[in-house]
Amino acid sequence: MESTLLILKTDLEQRMTTLSDGPAIQGRTAVGLAHGLGVVVQNCPFRPLYYSASVLDEVWNLALSQLQLSGKSDLRISQVQIQVAWILIGSLMSSGTHFVKSHLNRLLLLWQNALPRPSSKDIMAGRPTVEIQYLLHLKERALAALNLLLHYNEKLITLDLSKRVMTMLADTGVFVSRIPPLFGSDDPRILSAQSQLNDTIHKVKAHIFRCYTSLSQFDRRNAAGSEILLTAISVFAESDSSLSRFATGKGTSNLSFGSLASAEDNFSWGVSGYVKRLTIPKSGSVDERRHWSIWNSDVDLLEDMVSAFGD
C-alpha cells in the first residue's frame, strides 16, 4: 500500500508541474490522480501495518504546497491546484484522530481563509462572473473537506469547534446570498457561464446542508441558526426561475410547488435522503416516528393515522 501511495503521489506531482501545457487536459488527469490517491489514503486506517505515518505527512505537505502555489498561478491553473489540494486534505480526514488533531489548528486556519466572513465593503455586483465562480469553487472544495472532518472525527468535535464551524457555514451562506441574480442571454457562452455558476451555487448550499446534518448528530442543533438550515434546504425546496431561463435563454417562468414532499418541477428530489437524518426519536420512547417529509407513500400516512387512533 505504501508503494502505491508513493507512486500515485509522484505521478501527481509530475502532472501538477505540467499544468501550464494545457490546464483543461492536464487538469482532468491531475484531479483523477488526486481522487485515486485519496481513495488509497482513506483505506490506510484499515491496513495500519502496510504504511508509515511519514507517507501521510508527504501527502499533507503536497496539499499545502498546492494551496500556496494557487495564489501565484493563473486562474485556470489555480482552480486545479485548489481542487487537488482539498481532495487530498479531505482524504486525510479519515487517517485517525491522532493525525487530524496534530494538524487541527492549521486546518482551521485553512478553512477560515477559504470561508471568511464577508465584509460590508464586499460588493458582489461589480465582480465579474469568472471571479465569483472561482471563489465559489474554492468554498465548495473547502466545505467538502470540512464535511469529511465532521464525518470521521467525532471525538474532536467539541462545543467550541462546532460553533466555529457554524460561523463559517453562516458566513458562506451570507456570501452566497449576496451574489446578484443571473440574467438571461442569447449568447451561448454567457448562458454556459451562468449555468455553471448557478450549479456551483447549488453545490455550495448542498455542502452547507451536509455539514449541518453532520453536526446535528452531535446533539448541538441549537448552536446553529435556523437561517442556515433554511438557506441550505432552499437549494432543493425553492423553485428557481433561472432553470427555465437557462433552458430557453428567454424570459422567466413561474415554477410552483405544493409542498416540500411533492414538487411538479422535480426540484425537491434528493432532499429526503438528508432529511431522514433529522428524524429525532422522542426521549425515552422506543417507538420512533419518522418525520412527515420522508414518508414514502400514502400508506405511511394511513399507518400514522391508525397508530394515532390506537394511542
Total count of domains within the chain: 1
Residue 6 counted as domain residue: yes
The larger pLDDT score, comparing residue 114 to residue 23, is at 114
Residue 217 counted as domain residue: no
- Which of 27-41, 112-126, 262-276 is least confident? 262-276
pLDDT of residue 214: 83
Residue 18 counted as domain residue: yes
Residue 51 counted as domain residue: yes
- Which of 98-102, 119-123, 227-231, 261-265 is least confident? 261-265
Q: Does residue 246 register a pLDDT over 50? A: no
Q: Does residue 46 register a pLDDT over 60? A: yes
Average pLDDT, integer, range 71-81: 89
pLDDT of residue 192: 80
Share of residues in the chain with pLDDT > 90 (%): 28
Average pLDDT, integer, range 165-176: 88
Residue 105 counted as domain residue: no
**Vertex 208 angle, CA 203 and 211, to 5°:** 125
Q: Would you place residue 286 in the very low, low, confident or very high pLDDT band (cuts 50, 70, 90)?
A: very low
Per the prediction, the chain carries an average pLDDT of 76
Average pLDDT, integer, range 239-247: 46
Q: Does residue 54 register a pLDDT over 80? A: yes
**Across 75-89, 154-168, 224-238, which has the greatest mean pLDDT?**
75-89
Structural domain for 79, as ranges? 1-95
The larger pLDDT score, comparing residue 118 to residue 243, is at 118
Residue 213 counted as domain residue: no
Give the span between the Cα atoms of 184 and 18, in whole angstroms. Answer: 37
Q: For the range 86-89, what are the long-range contacts, defined as Cβ-Cβ under 8 Å and sequence gap of 24 or more?
A: 86/141, 86/142, 86/144, 86/145, 87/31, 87/34, 87/35, 87/38, 87/141, 87/145, 88/34, 88/37, 88/38, 88/41, 88/59, 88/60, 88/62, 88/63, 89/60, 89/63, 89/145
Residue 17 counted as domain residue: yes
Residue 37 counted as domain residue: yes
Average pLDDT, integer, range 278-297: 50
pTM of the full structure: 0.74
Q: Does residue 186 register a pLDDT over 60? A: yes
pLDDT of residue 253: 40
